[in-house]
């Protein structure tokens, strides 16, 4: 059985990142609605198989986070989607949180459900070849939030999740997402992200988590989308790196940014800019969902005859983010499509 430290390292090998294809049934329905495709078990499977079977995907993508339905799905030939990934040297991962629950006294804050049943649920995924897991916590910024209680509760749950995952020989991807929606400025995003990551790593240390056998998936530092403050790629990159240097221990092998509402291009540009700044103790990579898929989805529009062009567009985006992991992305490369 492969060691979790090795798997964590392989996930963030030079120029490689993760495809987040773990949209819940509700989320993928919204995506399919936008292209007038009915979301059924069959169409969801068909779409994801197109992405997973893209030629040379593993040059840029080391692993894919799957939703539970997808993890056990088979294509029309009866081949499991996880086997398709295994055949192209991509690790299968699984989203294991069970969504959000409101805080009793603070309806605009939430904590993540599913910890009580997690250990039991992981068994089946391990038996079927899962190599890593993901658990997302959500931190909103508004007038009197987040409260310290919300940050602490979510940090404790992330640490407990990481412990259970590692006990099952799975690499936990710890995702504390400070949400981009809101009127807060860049400075506020930095303050709250720093406070959140400090609390998360305190809890991880208290649980004796093997930091070399885990990965972290944070947001980049950007102004709220209703703040009126213009996104400044360079400024965001500098503040993001500063925040990480102040919070993430050097033993952690990699940091996989989420795109969190950024456009595909902005997500690539910030990642590239951060990687150009200086050499860091951790690999700085991506774990993008929409920012890898949105153009491919619009090309596919539910038609199998669009498979080739859909894969080409998807691979182009994956390649651009791979270049950004190395700080070698340039705008001219976008015209090569």
Domain positions in the chain: 4-334
Average pLDDT of the segment spanning 186-194: 98
Average pLDDT of the segment spanning 73-92: 97
Average pLDDT of the segment spanning 54-82: 97
Look at residue 285 and tell me whether its pLDDT is greater than 70: yes
Average pLDDT of the segment spanning 168-196: 98
- Bridge partners of 53, per DSSP, are none
Domain 4-334 has CATH 3.20.20.70: yes
Q: What percent of the chain has pLDDT over 70?
A: 99
Which H or E element spans position 18?
Answer: strand 17-21
Look at residue 105 and tell me whether its pLDDT is greater than 90: no
- Give the pLDDT score at 71: 98
- Give the pLDDT score at 336: 62
Instruction: Compute how many other C-beta atoms are within 10 angstroms of the C-beta atom of residue 237.
Output: 21
| pTM listed for this prediction | 0.97
d(CA 169, CA 8): 11
Q: How confident is the model at residue 306 (pLDDT cuts 50, 70, 90)?
A: very high
Looking at every residue in the chain, the average pLDDT score rounds to 97
The answer to whether the beta carbons of residues 137 and 111 sit under 8 Å apart is yes
Strand boundaries in 47-159, DSSP class E = 61-66, 91-95, 100-102, 110-112, 132-139
Look at residue 1 and tell me whether its pLDDT is greater than 80: no
Average pLDDT of the segment spanning 262-282: 97
Residues with a catalytic annotation lie at 175, 217
The answer to whether the beta carbons of residues 216 and 248 sit under 8 Å apart is yes
pLDDT digits (tens, 9 = 90+) for 38-59: 999 999 999 999 999 999 999 9
Q: How confident is the model at residue 5 (pLDDT cuts 50, 70, 90)?
A: very high
**In the block, residue with structure tokens 């412990």:** 163
Strand boundaries in 230-272, DSSP class E = 254-257
Q: How confident is the model at residue 335 (pLDDT cuts 50, 70, 90)?
A: confident
DSSP string, 159-217: HHHHHHHHHTT-EEEEEEEE---SS--HHHHHHHHHHHHHHHHHHHHHTT--GGG-EE-
Q: How confident is the model at residue 337 (pLDDT cuts 50, 70, 90)?
A: low
Average pLDDT of the segment spanning 139-166: 98
**In the block, residue with structure tokens 């499977």:** 45
Average pLDDT of the segment spanning 161-173: 98
Instruction: Compute how many other C-beta atoms are within 10 angstroms of the C-beta atom of residue 220.
Output: 27
pLDDT digits (tens, 9 = 90+) for 119-144: 999 999 999 999 999 999 999 999 99
């Amino acid at each position: 059985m492969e060691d979790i430290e090795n798997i964590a390292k392989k996930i963030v090998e030079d120029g490689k990142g993760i495809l987040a294809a773990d949209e819940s049934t509700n989320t993928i329905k919204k995506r399919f609605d936008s292209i007038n495709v009915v979301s059924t078990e069959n169409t969801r499977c068909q779409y994801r198989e197109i992405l997973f079977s893209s030629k040379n995907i593993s040059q840029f993508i080391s692993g894919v986070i799957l939703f539970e339905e997808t993890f056990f799905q088979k294509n029309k030939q009866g081949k499991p989607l996880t086997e398709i990934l295994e055949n192209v040297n991509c690790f299968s991962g699984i989203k294991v949180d069970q969504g959000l629950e409101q805080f009793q006294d603070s309806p605009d804050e939430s904590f993540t459900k599913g910890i009580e049943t997690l250990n039991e649920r992981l068994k089946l995924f391990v038996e079927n070849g899962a190599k890593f897991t993901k658990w997302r916590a959500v931190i909103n910024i508004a007038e009197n939030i987040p409260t310290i209680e919300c940050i602490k509760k979510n940090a404790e749950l992330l640490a407990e999740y990481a412990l259970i995952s590692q006990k099952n020989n799975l690499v936990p991807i710890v995702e504390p997402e400070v949400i981009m929606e809101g009127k807060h400025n860049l400075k506020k995003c930095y303050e709250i992200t720093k406070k959140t990551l400090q609390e998360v790593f305190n809890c991880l240390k208290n649980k004796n988590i093997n930091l070399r056998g885990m990965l972290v998936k944070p947001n980049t530092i950007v102004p709220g989308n209703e703040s009126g403050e213009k996104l400044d790629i360079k400024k965001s990159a500098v503040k993001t790196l500063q925040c990480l240097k102040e919070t993430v221990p050097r033993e952690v092998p990699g940091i996989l940014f989420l795109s969190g509402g950024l456009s595909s291009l902005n997500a690539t540009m910030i990642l590239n800019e951060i990687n150009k700044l200086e050499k860091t103790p951790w690999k700085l990579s991506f774990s993008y969902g929409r920012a890898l898929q949105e153009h491919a989805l619009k090309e596919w529009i539910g038609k199998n005859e669009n498979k080739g062009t859909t894969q080409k567009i998807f691979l182009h985006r994956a390649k651009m983010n791979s270049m950004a992991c190395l700080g070698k992305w340039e705008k001219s490369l976008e015209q090569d499509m």
